[in-house]
Amino acid sequence: MTRAQKPVRLKVDQVQKIYQTGAGTEFEAVRSLTFDLHDGEFACLVGPSGSGKTTLLKCIAGLMRTTSGEVVLDGQSVNGPAKGMAVVFQEYGRSLFPWMTVEANVDLPLKTSGVPKMERAERVRDALESVGLDKAGAKYPWQLSGGMQQRVAIARAVASQPSVLLMDEPFAAVDAQTRADLEDLVRRIWRKHNMTILFVTHDIDESVYLAERVLVLSSSPTVIQNDIEIDLPQERDQLVTRSAARFAELRAEVYERVQFAKTNIHAVVEPARFTEAHA
């Protein structure tokens, strides 16, 4: 089954966000954003800094009101944090409750949404196992390294079995080695649990390595500038994949588009072939 034949999980429909910046002035952060995320898709949103990535993610997560347009999750319009949406934030150290053990952190969304106790224990164990932390359940988050803390946050999201998992530059604050491990971990979890993931990053290599599809954002006021299919094999490996010729091509393509986005403000419609635009 091709992507388009699968049901739409997340529909972002002409989302616009204008900030009131006081004294009657306005700032249009997001102009008109439209894309669909289908069941089981792994998409990355990349864009130059200041392209409103975080604003957009907050709008999708229901943490921020959109000025106009609509976010629809499983056919339901999103007005505020929605059941079925899980978010992994960049600031792992501040997104886990330090007064709870790792297990209690992962369990909290299940407990408060009324999942039966037996099932909860099972799901928490399964999620912690998926991120390789099955032995750290009784520890407190602050007893773990940064990378491990982020894995706990991922486990919490996995345990809640979301329709869509949003990740906001989740690996921006960890060291390179940990980052590579976490990338592989997310790929593994995505396949194992058949998840639908929207992953925001500023790292072009990361977006190509991780996703099946890369959405390139324009500069602010943001629109989707490009929608690039990543036709790399499912089985990815830090060494093999990153040294593949196709990876280099895709990387170069995304890189050029992001460069284009940086220099061309309000580039709502891009020329058919990007290279020709420069000629």
Residue closer to another protein by CB (options 113, 259) is 113
Contact residue for another protein among 55, 160, 207, 225 (CB under 8 A): 160
Instruction: Determine, following the binding rule CB under 8 A, whether residue 221 of this chain makes contact with another protein.
Output: no
CA-to-CA distance for 8 and 3, rounded, in angstroms? 9
151/135 Cα distance (integer angstroms): 13
58-61 long-range Cβ contacts below 8 angstroms, 24+ apart: 59/15, 59/17, 59/30, 60/10, 60/12, 60/15, 60/85, 60/166, 60/198, 61/85, 61/87, 61/166
* CA gap 19, 114 in Å, rounded: 37
Are 214 and 46 in contact, with CB atoms under 8 Å apart? yes
- Total number of residues binding another protein (CB under 8 A)? 27
Name which of residues 93 to 152 contact another protein (CB under 8 A).
94-100, 108-109, 112-113, 140, 142-143
Q: Which stretch binds another protein (CB under 8 A): 44-52, 88-96, 187-195, 237-245?
A: 88-96
**Which residue's CB is nearer to another protein, number 158 or number 230?**
158
Among residues 61 and 250, whose Cβ is nearest to another protein? 61
Cross-strand partners of 33: 15
Q: Which of 10, 33, 71, 87 binds another protein (CB under 8 A)?
A: 87
Cα three-residue angle 179-182-184, rounded to 5 degrees? 115
Answer yes or no whether residue 65 interacts with another protein by CB under 8 A. no
Residue 80 Cβ vs another protein, minimum distance, rounded to whole Å: 8
Interaction site with another protein (CB under 8 A): 61-63, 80-81, 83, 85-87, 89, 91, 94-100, 108-109, 112-113, 140, 142-143, 156, 160
